[in-house]
Amino acid sequence: MNRDACLQAIRDHLQTAYLLTEKKTEGMIPVFVATLGDHVERLAALAAAGDLDGLGRAGHAVKGALLNMGLPDLAELARRIELQCRQRTGPVDRTLITDLERAVRLLAGS
């Protein structure tokens, strides 16, 4: 999904699911994207440190944030991180974090 389509999906979701005005929605999106960027950086740091417990909790938090913003496809990536941490069958698939990082950069316009 391209940036404009993704941002429109967020707008539509916030306005229909939470009955937010256009003004409130537009004010929330930059905050959400910045916060999401911080969370994804934390995912990367926890993965690098091998902290599966922290990574699982962070994955859960990112999943919830993405679902609240109406981005279920991206939330699925975070859910998979969370699940891999819980199962402890090996290292977490780093491409999941890379894909989330790429998506956040796209949302941020960078």
- In tens digits, the chain (110 residues) has pLDDT values of 799 999 999 999 999 999 999 999 999 999 999 999 999 999 999 999 999 999 999 999 999 999 999 999 999 999 999 999 999 877 889 999 999 999 999 999 98
pTM of model > 0.95: no
pLDDT of residue 90: 76
* Nearest residue to 74 (alpha-carbon basis) of 85, 84, 64, 83: 64
Count the helices and strands in the chain (H runs, E runs). 5, 0
Query: What amino acid is encoded at 87 in this protein?
Result: Q
Q: What residues contact residue 29 under an 8 Å CB cut-off, 6+ apart?
A: 7, 10, 11
Separation of alpha carbons 58 and 63, rounded Å: 8
Q: How far is CA 80 from CA 38, 96, 103, in A?
A: 19, 8, 16
At 60, is the secondary structure helix, strand, or coil?
Answer: helix
Separation of alpha carbons 33 and 54, rounded Å: 21
